[in-house]
Amino acid sequence: MTYGVGDPCLDQNMRYHCPIFGIFNFNKPRQKPFKRHVWYYDRGDYNQLRLLAAATDWDLLSDEDVNVHAKNITDKILEISKKCVPNKIVTIKPNEPPWMDGNIKRQIRKRKRAYKKAKRTNRQHHWDRFRQIRNETITLIRKTQKESTNKLAEKLKSENRSSKGWWNCLKKIISPPRKSSIPPLQDGDFIFTDNVDKANFLNNFFQQQTVVDDLNLEPDVLPVPVCTLSNVNILPDEVHDILMSLPLGKAVGPDEVNNRILCELASELALPLCNLFNHSLRISEVPTKLTSVLSSNLAILP
């Protein structure tokens, strides 16, 4: 855009092509730190855990209310697990780099204290001390970054690592990809550039793929069932086999019980969980506390 001579857009006396600029004052939202319960399952004493589970009277935890029944069992499992598996509450800071550890944090705090002291006193030996700590901090950060990269590189060289684990390690080394977006979509003479229009176009397209022309079709005649299923009864041996086959390394569900604990206590929990599942089936009510566990177990029952 062109303005006349002496236009005061940028506070200049002579300007033939004055740009127009604006200043946006806003704060970028930052992810807040949060608490997380961390378990160290590799260091658990599972022999002691099985002894505690075997000494528990699980019948006392049953209740007519299936939600109370499930909560009692879940709370008991977590109670004895905390005694045998090391665990603690940690503060997760999403904005921190993965190589940031306690030593670097202490060194950074030490550098800040030295800087404040040197700025307050303005003495030469205090400034020298600050520069020394600053250089030590920079050296420590660079060393830790290099060690972290080398560890990831060694993990990538491992022949025993799964494809999923390999890609997880690689993503930590390479720079994160740029945010991608769907390019403009064309339907005949129409071109969709707005995100909402593109989403509606894709939704309508995939919706049309599921439309079946059944106006002139007759429904198939289903055969008369030979027998009917009047009752479902789960056996403890079935529950035991399912607990032993649970995949490890998965995140916990709403019940906060890890599959590693369920697998280690398969023999001790087979009967209590069997009673809970059968109770749930009898009253036709799924306990909200164990929805994920119950659904996964019932889904693979023979």
Q: What is the pLDDT of residue 291?
A: 58
Q: What is the pLDDT of residue 12?
A: 53
CB 243 within 8 A of CB 276: no
Q: How does pLDDT run across 166-187, given as a tens digit for each residue?
A: 777 777 767 555 555 677 888 8
pLDDT band at 15 (very low <50, low <70, confident <90, very high): low
Query: Mean pLDDT over residues 90-94, rounded?
Result: 82
pTM of the model: 0.57
Residue partners of 144: CB distance under 8 A and separation at least 6:
99, 101, 103, 104
Query: Mean pLDDT over residues 104-115, rounded?
Result: 94
CB 107 within 8 A of CB 288: no
For residue 37, list its beta bridge partners.
89
Query: Mean pLDDT over residues 113-124, rounded?
Result: 94
* Angle CA 83–88–89, to nearest 5: 140
pLDDT band at 243 (very low <50, low <70, confident <90, very high): very high
